[in-house]
Structure 1
Amino acid sequence: MFKSNKIKLVGLFLLIAMALALLIYVPRTLGVADNSDFNRTMKAFGLSSASGIKFWSADTQYKLSDPGTAVQYFKRIFWPAHNPAHYYSTQFIFVKLALFLNAAFASFTHRDPGEFNLAFQTVQYILLYAAAFFLFFKEKWKTHRFADLAGKALLAFFFLDSGYLVYFNSFYGESTTLIFLLIAFVLLLYLEKGKTSLFVYLGALLSLFLFSGSKSANFPSALLLAVPVLYQAMRKEDRRKKIAIGVSVAVMLVASYGYVKNSPDWMKKVTTFQSVFFGVLYEHPAPEQAVQELGLPPELAKLETVNAYAPRALNPYNLYEPPFESLFFDHTGKLEVFTYYLIHPEQFAKKLDESAEAALPLRPTYLANLQLPEDQADLRFDFRLNLWERLRKQISGFASVFVGMVFLLYTASWISLLRIKADPYRLLLRLALLGAAAGQFIVPLVSNGHADLQKHMFLFNVHFDLLIFLLFFDHLGVKSKTFRRVGIASTAVLVGLCFYPSRPETVTLGRMDGKPIKWYVLEREGDWTKVIAKKALYRSAYDERSNDYTEASIQAGLDAKVDVWFTADERKLIRQAEYPALCNEVNWQQAEEGDRPHYWFSPIKYVSQDSERAYRKSYSASLTLPSVDDAERLFRKSKTASVLPGGYWLSTPYYGSTDKARVVSPDYQVYHRKVDTVLGVRPVMWVRGK
């Protein structure tokens, strides 16, 4: 009987691991492209990308500058890595193991030892993640079989989404963050279930250490989650075990804090700079006043809405030299930033709403998740097995409502557990998870401003999904009609807000293929009304190679449509208007107005960002493509009207390139694609009359 059970358990683990491998590798490999953060890891191990492509291809092949033998790499597993970037992470443990496995495989198969395949790291992540699910699936958590299966299905639904799994094929620390937080979470549930062996305690603490050491921002969560572990040991265990676990908790926290303390100085300076100038002062209505409140010299107000990597034309200071140290870093820090937000709750609330919108996608929307050759490199995605992330993105526009609703329901659930006198450990664990989620909702904004906000919301997303899971899990099989009704009503309200098919005012003008063309009203200006086509009127490439809209072939094509779609009398109603054409990183010097690049942000609710200040020139046209401002304006008028099934072009270029322009996607995100991609054309124009 024992042998039979053991075989079943081994089979379950292998089944989970195989399922994960299939999800990641079939029919094509999923990953996340490099946004330049890979350098922190690659420099420590002499690695470089084989293709050199960033942002547009999720590479799996790398080169080693000084390849060693399998024996040498095995020894290096136990040596501290020397990193010129002075960045260290528990993630490095698995990179070292991957280098050893790669070298051993190369020796066995006579491959080039200078080539490194990321699969040797990904396989480790698959096995570890499979262990987390195995530990959860093998236990019976609920008395009723259906409730137990529902709980297991729910965990899989959330955390087997490809939005999470794509990180496994990357050098981002998010992989180890996710894996070891989930393992720790399951082991913390083991303690709640009464499984209090020393292995469970030590496994939970080891997982929390590996989780915390992945990224310094993880430490506060690890600290909070260590509290229930210590509490359970002090309450349940004998004296010797209490001492052993108490010492282990202390060692774990000290070792974890070591990673925080050893964060490189350059990183601290960059993030502090961005928390102020690309955070507090980002789109601030009175930057001079904010600078004064932060205790900074008045001349630094000119750096508002500037990130740490801006060119000297925007930021004449060197972050790493003593003059700027005394001017800026000696006067303020992240504590002052947090205090400023507390004193200005209205500004804080708006920025947290942007954070909530940024958190809806599980992975950065500006990084491809497919490996693509250089001639095809583009912002392309495989959305397979991505149901949970897709559902999250449908909440666009109401993300803060969603976050607030979950927090309130979770708090109500906790109070209901308190009222029925649930086990104190159970209450403490849920309180720690709530505190960790709330903290991680705030930390990215306070610690790094708007820079890379979507990626920095990752840990909040993991915590938040754990809250949603527990919210359902705690009430599966529990006959609480009141709580169930409140939950159903709250969900119904959210669904109604998100999916109500509101329609803005419509006008009809012109004909195409014998049918009248309908237009939505965007705004009014005196006797003139700006309108946008109700649907894409045709499909076209933006241009062959350039995202300069004033020279793009798509604009010439729209000009030609005026005589086709409209009669002579209708053409008299259309204004030959002046429109802004935003500039890219190359032609910005041709700008007639503006003093900033147009910063990229994908949630459509806030997509315009700093467009009124962006480098731009003007052009004259009757028909044109919508701008980011038009897309945001339409979204605010009618969420459902702002997107189309196939996506459509905007006139706005992606600032960081010369061959990519912005596109509105059906998932309420505004991406960018290569200009030779064929997408929908949804024109805008000014017409006379109300």
Structure 2
Amino acid sequence: MAKALWLKKLGYRMTVLSRYISPSLLAASLVLIITVIALFVPPYIGMADNGDYFRVLYSNGLYFNNPDYDSLYLGHFNKQFGIFQYFNENGATLTSSQSLLIRLSVWINQLFNQQVFDIRVQAALLTILYTVAVYLFVEALTWKMKPKYGYLVAVLAVFLFADTAYTAFFNSFFSESMVWIMLIYLFASGLLLFRKRYSDYAMMIIFFISGLFLTTSKQQNAPVGIIIAVMGIIFIFVRKQRGYRAMVASSLAFLMLAGIATYVLIPKEFVNINQYHAMTRGVLMQSEDPEATLKSFGINKQYAVLNESIYYEPYTTVDVNSKILEDNFYNHYGFVSILAYYITHPDQAGKMMDLAAKNAFTIRPPAMGNYEKSAGKPFGAQTKFFSGYSELKKALAPKTFGFIVIWMLVVTGMYAPHFVAAMKARDVRSMVRLPLILMLMFMGLSGIFVSIIGAGDADLSKHEFLFTAAFDLVTFTAVADALCRNLWQNKPAAQEKSVAVQN
């Protein structure tokens, strides 16, 4: 009796609270506060450079101005960089939507300081974008739900989204920050359209822009545009207006072209790096007879000496950029031929998939430190501040590819009944949720497959970021829908109208 009374009082208090602050606003506010403390209050949390910064730094008008920068690689985070004052002769080494963010950050920074760029300006922009993204995502999951369920989802959202394994990327030049935020916007806008929350046109604009930024954020995401275009076809039929359908269809077509263009525009230098690792850190590494494997590709067996080697090694058997290697090694294989090899050698493919799965649940790359050198932390030290979710995930997630398959089947099975009911009711809007979830799953898988086939096991924990991000969003959505009893009990809108008419 006392317990029932307590629950009744708790429910009443939550109802009163919901009049002043919604679950989505509560979650976004707490994530904002925790992120500000982590990134903008000493000791500042960020990401050390692993050697990749030069790819985006010089072409965007910045340069390394710290004389001791070489000693910071991998170990310490650096927050200040020089701004070119005169002609910048450096061309773009890669095409990425991340450059738009960096250039906007530099422009804002120059309003206050013309010579030194503080990366926290970029972090501030990303934090604002992130807060809005979290709000929209939690709103999509809790709208019209009972307060007691909604606030529980909000608390869980803070546990996930405020985790510094994700937000530390904001204080870095790694594109993972753009990938993470745009993925949330993409998923949230699709779910809000499913819920019929806000304007369908506005949600499709957010869906398109976030999909475009996500696809073009890094070359590895080239398949993302194609996946969105194919899985998003169902969005065309949500409304009957020709204008809406034309807008959605043209947006999806543009995303597919963006995916193709992202792949085509990959610089030759990066093609060679990835291609080298795809063979030496992938195909050959798992082969019982590397010489025979090379022969199957039409490559001289003497190149078996490169097995397990890395492109960046200072002392190598052969110059990795030489014409000899170009003619006798690189030109004999590519993405398609390696894919065909793995298909015809399922045992090796299985080993690579399990190897990938071991790194697929790690959010924070283990190689990079999070503190400035001035903070007095050891070289390579990583923060434990608000890292409960990432540490728990890393420790408990079964690290096998079989688990990933089971996870996909379970989540699909959870949402399939509602999708079937929507099909029977011919309610396209209610059919949107399952394809949207499958879209994120396929994106995550593309992150794994592209990493393995395209670059072997080189820097897997970072290359598989798209999978770990998609896994978290889909799993969180499934948990939230289960808590809110929104998996099977909610009937499709058309079905509800039919019942109302009959009554």
Query: Fold conserved (TM > 0.5)?
Result: yes
On the 8 A contact 1:136/1:152 being kept in 2, the answer is no
Query: Which of 281, 298, 301 pairs up with 1:298?
Result: 301
Q: Determine the structure 2 residue equivalent to 1:368.
A: 369
On the 8 A contact 2:137/2:187 being kept in 1, the answer is no
The Cα shift of 1:153 comes to: 3.2
Percent identity for Structure 1 against Structure 2: 23
Query: Which of 176, 197, 202 pairs up with 1:199?
Result: 202
Q: Determine the structure 1 residue equivalent to 2:474.
A: 467
SS in 2 for 1:125: helix
Q: Determine the structure 1 residue equivalent to 2:12.
A: none
| Distance in 2 of aligned mates of 1:158 and 1:11 | 16
Residue 29 (structure 2) pairs with residue 29 (structure 1) = no
What is the count of residue pairs matched by the alignment? 457
| Distance in 1 of aligned mates of 2:165 and 2:484 | 29
On the 8 A contact 1:125/1:168 being kept in 2, the answer is yes
| Distance in 2 of aligned mates of 1:419 and 1:284 | 44
Residue 349 (structure 2) pairs with residue 348 (structure 1) = yes
Distance 1:414 1:249, change over 3 A: same
Deviates more, 1:17-26 or 1:159-168: 17-26
1:174-323 map, 5 Å: 174-195=176-197, 196-282=199-285, 284-312=287-315, 314-319=316-321, 321-323=322-324
| Distance in 2 of aligned mates of 1:82 and 1:123 | 29
Deviates more, 1:198-207 or 1:465-474: 465-474
| Structure with the higher helix share, 1 or 2 | 2
SS in 2 for 1:133: helix
Q: Determine the structure 2 residue equivalent to 1:39.
A: 54
Q: Deviations over 1:566-605 (max 9, x none)?
A: xxxxxxxxxxxxxxxxxxxxxxxxxxxxxxxxxxxxxxxx
On the 8 A contact 2:286/2:348 being kept in 1, the answer is no
Q: Deviations over 1:326-376 (max 9, x none)?
A: 212221001111221122222222222121112232111011011114986
| Distance in 1 of aligned mates of 2:401 and 2:254 | 38
On the 8 A contact 1:177/1:214 being kept in 2, the answer is yes
On the 8 A contact 2:82/2:117 being kept in 1, the answer is yes
The Cα shift of 1:206 comes to: 0.4
The Cα shift of 1:54 comes to: 0.8
Q: Deviations over 1:29-79 (max 9, x none)?
A: 1111000100001121232152402111011111224369xxxxxxxxxxx
Q: Determine the structure 2 residue equivalent to 1:335.
A: 336
| Distance in 1 of aligned mates of 2:109 and 2:352 | 44
On the 8 A contact 2:360/2:468 being kept in 1, the answer is yes
| Distance in 2 of aligned mates of 1:82 and 1:339 | 42
Residue 456 (structure 2) pairs with residue 454 (structure 1) = no
The Cα shift of 1:432 comes to: 1.7
Deviates more, 1:125-134 or 1:277-286: 277-286
Distance 1:127 1:433, change over 3 A: same
Query: Which of 3, 14, 17 pairs up with 2:32?
Result: 17
Distance 1:307 1:403, change over 3 A: same
**Structure with greater contact order relative to length (CA < 8 Å, sep ≥ 6):** 2
Deviates more, 1:334-343 or 1:163-172: 334-343
The Cα shift of 1:269 comes to: 1.1
1:48 maps to a residue whose letter is: F
Q: Determine the structure 1 residue equivalent to 2:120.
A: 119
Stretches of structure 2 that go unaligned for 5 or more consecutive residues are 1-17, 424-429, 489-503
SS in 2 for 1:62: strand
| Distance in 2 of aligned mates of 1:433 and 1:181 | 9
Deviates more, 1:125-134 or 1:12-21: 12-21
1:455 maps to a residue whose letter is: K
On the 8 A contact 2:233/2:249 being kept in 1, the answer is yes
Distance 1:150 1:406, change over 3 A: farther
The Cα shift of 1:421 comes to: 4.1
SS in 1 for 2:367: coil
Distance 1:258 1:390, change over 3 A: same
| Distance in 1 of aligned mates of 2:471 and 2:398 | 18
Distance 1:398 1:134, change over 3 A: closer
| Distance in 1 of aligned mates of 2:166 and 2:326 | 39
Stretches of structure 1 that go unaligned for 5 or more consecutive residues are 69-80, 107-112, 482-690
Deviates more, 1:182-191 or 1:135-144: 135-144
On the 8 A contact 2:226/2:255 being kept in 1, the answer is no
Query: Which of 437, 443, 449 pairs up with 1:436?
Result: 443
Deviates more, 1:325-334 or 1:469-478: 469-478
2:63 maps to a residue whose letter is: L
| Distance in 2 of aligned mates of 1:65 and 1:142 | 52
Residue 77 (structure 2) pairs with residue 61 (structure 1) = no
On the 8 A contact 1:395/1:402 being kept in 2, the answer is no
1:248 maps to a residue whose letter is: S
Structure showing greater Rg:
1
Q: Deviations over 1:258-296 (max 9, x none)?
A: 333211110011101110111111253210111122332
The Cα shift of 1:309 comes to: 1.6
1:172 maps to a residue whose letter is: F
1:386-397 map, 5 Å: 386-395=387-396
On the 8 A contact 1:363/1:458 being kept in 2, the answer is no
| Distance in 1 of aligned mates of 2:237 and 2:420 | 24
On the 8 A contact 1:89/1:214 being kept in 2, the answer is yes
Distance 1:374 1:418, change over 3 A: closer
Query: Which of 159, 165, 173 pairs up with 2:175?
Result: 173
Distance 1:278 1:480, change over 3 A: closer
SS in 2 for 1:394: helix
| Structure with the higher strand share, 1 or 2 | 1
Q: Determine the structure 2 residue equivalent to 1:425.
A: 432
